[in-house]
Amino acid sequence: MVVIGFLRTVFVLAAVLPSLLVGLVLLALWRDRRRAANVMFGIWTRIGPRIAGIRLVVRHAERIDASRPAVFLFNHQSSADILILCMLLRRDFTGVAKQELRRHLVFGPAMALAGAVFIDRSDRPKAIEALRPAADVVRGGLSIGIAPEGTRSTGAALGPFKKGAFRLALAARVPIVPIVVHDSYRVMPRGSLLTRPAVVHVDVLEPVPTHDWTLDSLDARIAEIRQQYLAALGKGAPALSAAR
């Protein structure tokens, strides 16, 4: 079983390579980073989940496309969350990732093609400064996916929320869409290097408008959204769902 899990993990990562290659070729032909990235995501989200054995069961998936552009929040339980987020958003989005991923042999070039914002989590002022251009990206019609916890949690536990994602939504004046992932830790929990097949349940909560937000009310707004996550996680996996 360990050997199978290891091979599955290797092939999921390897599946990024042909997707990236196609994306780079199309970028050279089209000179359009967004179209090329969309094709790259489309290929990987067809190949990757089949290799990994991941199936998503999503409640209120229609809220994703109805709310763009937006800041999509997701609770971070697993290394598989990058693939899961791509499966959910599919097109016209980029992400915010830790600086270390820029040097990843597989994900680094792919995320660079997608225009990801890399931040240094050890340097708060630099991290905040790195997010400023992202507001212009969102105003231009591109959505952003970001984990407000800033790092993976242990199991289904929900960590404290950092302010960066919320400052970004406030600056861009776009809605926040909370995505609650119930059980992606079953695919690849924190500390594990092996991918395991699993059904992952997801709740897409009501979009939260930010047009009336202020910096003074930001802490209260963050607390409200985090409470929504706690409530959704407390209810367990979606009872009425649609496969995606």
Q: Name the β-bridge partners of 59.
A: 203
SS3 content of the chain, % helix, strand, coil (to 5): 50, 15, 35
Residue pLDDT tens, the chain, 244 long: 677 877 788 888 889 999 999 999 999 999 999 999 999 999 999 999 999 999 999 999 999 999 899 999 999 999 899 999 999 999 999 998 888 888 888 888 999 999 998 887 677 777 777 777 888 889 989 999 999 998 888 888 899 999 999 999 999 999 999 999 999 999 988 888 789 999 999 999 999 999 999 999 999 999 999 999 999 998 877 664 455 5
In whole angstroms, give the CA distance from residue 178 to residue 58. 13
Could you give the angle at which helices 164-172 and 218-235 cross, rounded to 10 degrees?
120
Helix (H, G, I), strand (E, B) or coil at 79: coil
* Helix ranges, 90-155 (H): 107-113, 124-139
Predicted confidence at residue 136, as pLDDT, reads 87
pLDDT for the residue numbered 241: 47
Per-residue pLDDT reduced to its tens digit, 70-99? 999 999 999 899 999 999 999 999 998 888
Q: What confidence score (pLDDT) does residue 153 get?
A: 86
Which residue segments constitute the domains of the chain, with CATH numbers given?
A: 54-243 (3.40.1130.10)
CA distance 106 to 75: 23
pLDDT for 1 equals 62
Residue 98: predicted pLDDT:
80
Three-state DSSP at 216 gives coil
Predicted local confidence at residue 176, as pLDDT: 98
* Run of H or E including 100: none
Question: How far is the C-alpha of 75 from the C-alpha of 217, rounded, in Å?
Answer: 22
* Six token digits for residue 237: 């996996």
Angle at 132 (CA atoms; ends 129, 136), nearest 5 degrees: 160
The pLDDT assigned to 134 comes to 85
Distances (CA, A) of 144 to 16, 53, 106, 212: 20, 26, 20, 20
pLDDT at residue 236 in the model: 76
* Strands, sheet with 143-146, edge to edge from the N-terminal-most edge strand: 117-119, 93-98, 143-146, 71-74, 176-181, 198-204, 54-59, 242-243
Say how far apart CA 59 and CA 204 lie, in whole Å: 6
Amino acid at 191: G
CB 203 within 8 A of CB 238: yes
Structure tokens at 51: 């290799």
Residue 61 has a pLDDT of 96
